[in-house]
Amino acid sequence: MERLDRFMARANAAYYAGPDPLAGFTTAPEISQVFGEVLGAWAAVAWQAMGSPTDAVLVEAGPGRGTLMADALRVLRRAAPSLAGNVHLVETSPSLRARQALAVAHATWHDRLETVPTGPLVLLANEFLDALPIRQCVRRGDGWVERHVASGAFVEVPCPAPPTVDAPDDGIVEWSEAARDLVHRVAGRVVAQGGVALFIDYGPERSAPGDSLQALRGGEAVDPLADPGSADLTAHVDIEALAGVARLAGATVQGPVPQGAFLARLGLFERSRALASNVPPPRAGALMEAAQRLAEPHLMGRLFKVTAVCHPALPSLSGFAA
């Protein structure tokens, strides 16, 4: 028997160590090159707002195939060359590290954020927090039980009340100690050394009870408990709770704002149109369709939210103000 978060950590470590863990997935940077380009432009402006520190480090957590960073660097090499020359990728999967090395020529890899050199931080993380392990408790009358996993099924073990929201009878509360810990460390670093961390994740704007654990194998939803290591396990990110963790550490939080509004303010459509005007019609149409997929509220535009954890001296950053 294993607590759910330990099961999820082990299953995902095995899954991401596999030969092509992202086959069948289409994350935002894989939909359009403009996603990474506008985030690169955002990073340059944020870096300027920090006073253009030459010792700043550019970090991506969970870079997947390296597409976002490769696209962002095309912009950053011109707009913020010193930042573009100091790239650090936090990635535990050996197969994805190899993949990232093909996309990003000059970078240093890390298992954890702690080994990234000191200096003001510009951190990007798209769909990273949702891969971190969660715990789940279920309310049973006046008490609570915590979900463990044994032989592909849940086993309930009595436990104290969970630290976040309440739930009705038989309702499920989930939280991620790993995500809370990461945001706590990022916020502490940003407060002490300066900088900003941008998180893009799916999840509701406010903490709410409910079971959001899901497993995808080759793009298909499968049983999260069956055959650990064969599917990608994710859960909704509790943005409100994580923003609270960041504020407690002394950071300020900008957002969350819906991904669609954020990208539109950063010029997603203008940049896509400019690219489209220089290519044959089928490719031009695909570029505009990709922009819509990223930004339309009924597609990815509303479900995904953008949140920045900032040094308190930073002004309102682009994309966050209407």
Binding mask 94-113 for ligand SAH (x = CB under 6 A): --x-----------------
Stretch that binds ligand SAH, among 22-30, 77-85, 290-298, 311-319 (CB under 6 A): 22-30
When asked if residue 29 is in the footprint of ligand SAH (CB under 6 A), the reply is yes
Q: Which is nearer to ligand SAH, 64 or 194 (CB)?
A: 64
Chain-centroid distance of CA 272 in Å reads: 23
User: CA 173 to CA 2: how far, in whole Å?
Assistant: 18
Q: Which is nearer to ligand SAH, 62 or 258 (CB)?
A: 62
When asked if residue 16 is in the footprint of ligand SAH (CB under 6 A), the reply is yes
When asked if residue 128 is in the footprint of ligand SAH (CB under 6 A), the reply is yes
Minimal distance, residue 167 CB to ligand SAH, in Å: 27
Residue 313: partners with Cβ closer than 8 Å, 6 or more residues away: 194
| Size of the residue set binding ligand SAH (CB under 6 A) | 19
List binders of ligand SAH among 37-96 (CB under 6 A): 62-64, 68, 90-93, 96
List binders of ligand SAH among 221-250 (CB under 6 A): none
Q: Which is nearer to ligand SAH, 92 or 193 (CB)?
A: 92
Minimal distance, residue 132 CB to ligand SAH, in Å: 6
Minimal distance, residue 222 CB to ligand SAH, in Å: 17
When asked if residue 131 is in the footprint of ligand SAH (CB under 6 A), the reply is yes
Stretch that binds ligand SAH, among 26-34, 164-172, 259-267, 283-291 (CB under 6 A): 26-34
When asked if residue 262 is in the footprint of ligand SAH (CB under 6 A), the reply is no
Minimal distance, residue 312 CB to ligand SAH, in Å: 27
Q: Which is nearer to ligand SAH, 5 or 127 (CB)?
A: 127
Residue ranges that bind ligand SAH, judged by CB under 6 A: 12, 16, 27-30, 62-64, 68, 90-93, 96, 126-128, 131
